[in-house]
Amino acid sequence: MNFFDGYIEGDKPVIADFFAGWSDPCKLMDPVLMELKEQLGDRANVVRIDIEKEPVCVEMFKIWSVPTVIIFRKGQELWRKTGIIPAHEILTNLNYYIR
């Protein structure tokens, strides 16, 4: 078990961004994640997981490329996409799965 397991078990949705500091596409996701945090407030947690610091999470969730965004709720993976993703697409999927 790692730090992340307990975090995603709750009722509050978690938007997890798996990233690498050396990746330019990951850097482009920074403002997207800030926008999500502002729009969602306390309705969902937005977290970033550095793939180089959390290899157990990388293996557990089969992260093959970055950035990868996964939406979790109650320990379940609800949605996943790799690449640069606009905030509205993440919000649309979050709202679809947690209605």
Give pLDDT tens digits for 31-90: 999 999 999 999 999 999 999 999 999 999 999 999 999 999 998 999 999 999 999 999
Alpha helical stretches, state H, the chain: 3-8, 24-40, 55-60, 87-97
Distinct helix (H) and strand (E) counts, the chain: 4, 4
Residue 11: CB atoms within 10 A of its CB come to 7
- The separation between CA 95 and the C-alpha centre of its own chain, rounded to angstroms, equals 15
| pTM, full prediction | 0.92
